[in-house]
Amino acid sequence: MRSLAERARDERGLMGKIAILWLALLVLFVVAAIDTGSILYTRYKVADAADEASFEAATVYKDTRNQQVALQAALTKVKELTPGAHLAAFKLDAKTGEVTVTVTKEAWSLLAARLPFTEEYVKATETATNGPPVL
């Protein structure tokens, strides 16, 4: 049977190892929280930009009846609201004046974009449809 002193010597440095493990877990949770917040914020901004751009384009089309001018209005609105976002699709129904836009943007991340099983969540894509304002 080992003495108490021998058993204590075997456990030397254990608290330091446990502290390092907890610190590593804390860092992992902080990185995950930052990435999650960034992804959610980007999705919110992209959804807002898609909605605003489709409404702006529908309004401009109602006033001008020009599809190119409406497209330019949508592009301008997306760039204004969400720098770095792209207008991935633009569809205008000439009969009803409804405009559908799809906006995409990649969220900033520390880790999620670098892992193969989470990189799909970093790209935010939202589609919105709006008609011209009815007054």
**What HEC string does the chain produce?**
CCCHHHHHHHCCCHHHHHHHHHHHHHHHHHHHHHHHHHHHHHHHHHHHHHHHHHHHHHHHHHHHCCHHHHHHHHHHHHHHHCCCCEEEEEEECCCCCCEEEEEEEECCCCCHHHCCCCHHHCEEEEEEEECCCCC
% of the chain residues with pLDDT over 70: 90
What is the tens place of the pLDDT at every residue in 119-135?
A: 999 999 999 999 998 87
Which pLDDT belongs to residue 9? 60
Do residues 59 and 133 make contact, with C-beta atoms less than 8 angstroms apart?
yes
% residues pLDDT > 90 (the chain): 84
For 50-89, what is each residue's pLDDT tens digit? 999 999 999 999 999 999 999 999 999 999 999 999 999 9
- Contact of 71 with 90, CB cutoff 8 Å: yes
Domain layout of the chain by residue ranges: 4-130
Residue 19, both tokens:
């502290």
Rounded to an integer, the average pLDDT of 94-108 is 97
Are 127 and 50 spatial neighbours (Cβ–Cβ below 8 Å)? Answer: yes
Terminal Cα distance for the chain, rounded:
92
pLDDT interval class at 106 (50, 70, 90): very high
